[in-house]
Amino acid sequence: MDLEERVAQVTRNTAEVLTPEEVRPLFQRESAPRAYIGIEPSGLLHVGHLVTARKMRDLTDAGCRLTLFLADWHAWINDKLGGSLEKIREAGKYMQSAFVALGVDPGKTEFRWAQDLQAQPGYWDRVVRVAKATSLARSRRALPIMGRSEEETNIDTAKLFYPSMQAADIFELPVEIAYAGVDQRRAHVLAREVAHHYHWPVPVAIHTPLISSLKGGGRMDPESQTVERKMSKSDPAAGIPIPSDPGLITSRIGAAYCPAKEVDGNPVVELVRFVIFPWEGKLSVERAAKHGGPLVLGSEEEFLKSWKAGSLHPQDLKAAVAASLSRITEPARRFFGSHPEAVPPMLRPGGAGGI
């Protein structure tokens, strides 16, 4: 893969790159740039994480040294899984297995825990330096990265450490590329601002789109540029957990919000654009002859044109999406079927954080 192909691989299917002009020089300068994504272990992955897994594979395919940062301390601060570090770490082990089952190469990916990074000499010195370069108001504005409103007053003081910790992680790992969904944008912008302040290496930030809740209401918030009601591990019924059997996938997609011809805030359309095309390169629609017969749409543009024109019925679209998601998640279903113990008890059906 030549330079241009590597740059294209890393930047494709993204919502934003900060900044595009920095990517090519980075790959010219570094044969194997260090990249990371940090995730709080707090529940089952869902099909929205297929966006994440695809981009993780893009990064390693482009020659990046990737770190999946299992942010156990961050999840603890954020009261995930009842604030139990033991349960959070069990969830992190499941998460590692799930991403590998989805094709993330463990030979090209390092799995690191926040607890280990924070034990390094100098980590808390870095956190304090970040905090010293950040006003309290700026830290509070970054609190929505935890899914919290900056106007919320009854938060414990530990949560105010979160933005400075997240920025410090980038420099302590260290990495040249910080990758996340667009909901983490404020944290990455903060890290870039702090880097300029101290003349530290400025990380490139890569952000992928979020998938809206299957229940609807996922319009873009014009202020934060994030989805108001995204698919979330904290609301399992709003998404499709990994693993799921084909019946559950069909049921959840069948009940999903999907108004005809609408694109904005439509989770089924988003799954086509941000999951199915990046993974399969096409959308295959099985239809009866009286409804136009089988249809293969080979590009996002072709799909959107057909959908906006009303040439594709929502029920036909839902059936096609369910079939594609079942194919894409089959490796994970097969792995967890053979290793049921890899899903912690509290994440299994009926457990806290489970299906």
* Domain shared by 34 and 102, yes or no: yes
- Would you state the pLDDT for residue 142? 81
**Token pair 């033991």 is at which residue?**
86
String of DSSP letters for 95-148: HHHHHHHTT--TTSEEEEEHHHHTTSTTHHHHHHHHHHTS-HHHHHHTGGGGT-
Whether 131 is in a domain gets the answer yes
pLDDT in tens, 328-343: 999 999 999 999 999 9
| Neighbour tally for 118: CB within 10 Å | 16
Three-class secondary structure of residue 265 per DSSP: coil
* Domain shared by 200 and 282, yes or no: no
Whether 224 is in a domain gets the answer no
Report residue 345 as tokens: 């008890």
String of DSSP letters for 277-310: HHHHSSEEE---GGGT--EEE-SHHHHHHHHHTT
- Would you state the pLDDT for residue 27? 98
d(CA 314, CA 258): 7
Whether 222 is in a domain gets the answer no
| Neighbour tally for 268: CB within 10 Å | 22
Indicate which CATH number applies to the domain containing 271.
Answer: 1.10.240.10
Whether 347 is in a domain gets the answer no
Whether 334 is in a domain gets the answer no
Q: Which domain holds residue 7?
A: 3-208
**Token pair 């136009």 is at which residue?**
292
Residue 27: enclosing H or E segment and its boundaries? helix 20-29
According to DSSP H, which parts of 151-221 are helical?
158-172, 185-198
- Would you state the pLDDT for residue 353? 57
CA distances in angstroms from 90 to 85, 95, 155, 225, listed in the order given: 9, 9, 26, 32
Whether 226 is in a domain gets the answer no
Indicate which CATH number applies to the domain containing 173.
Answer: 3.40.50.620
* Domain shared by 184 and 262, yes or no: no
Whether 123 is in a domain gets the answer yes
- Would you state the pLDDT for residue 335? 98
* Domain shared by 64 and 201, yes or no: yes
String of DSSP letters for 215-241: TS---B-TTT-SBSSB--TT-GGGS-B
- Would you state the pLDDT for residue 193? 96
Number of domains forming the structure of the chain: 2
* Domain shared by 121 and 198, yes or no: yes
pTM for this model (two decimals): 0.92
* Domain shared by 35 and 87, yes or no: yes
**Token pair 């806290």 is at which residue?**
352
* Domain shared by 187 and 54, yes or no: yes
d(CA 230, CA 259): 17
Report residue 294 as tokens: 């089988």
Q: Which residue, among 9, 6, 57, has the nearest Cα to 27 in the 3D structure?
A: 6
- Would you state the pLDDT for residue 97? 98
* Domain shared by 139 and 250, yes or no: no
- Would you state the pLDDT for residue 283? 98
Provide the mean pLDDT of the chain: 92
- Would you state the pLDDT for residue 140? 84
Whether 84 is in a domain gets the answer yes
- Would you state the pLDDT for residue 99? 98
Q: Which residues of the chain have pLDDT under 70?
A: 144-154, 218-228, 233-234, 236, 350-355
String of DSSP letters for 297-346: E-SHHHHHHHHHTT-S-HHHHHHHHHHHHHHHTHHHHHHHHH-GGGS-GG
d(CA 263, CA 307): 8
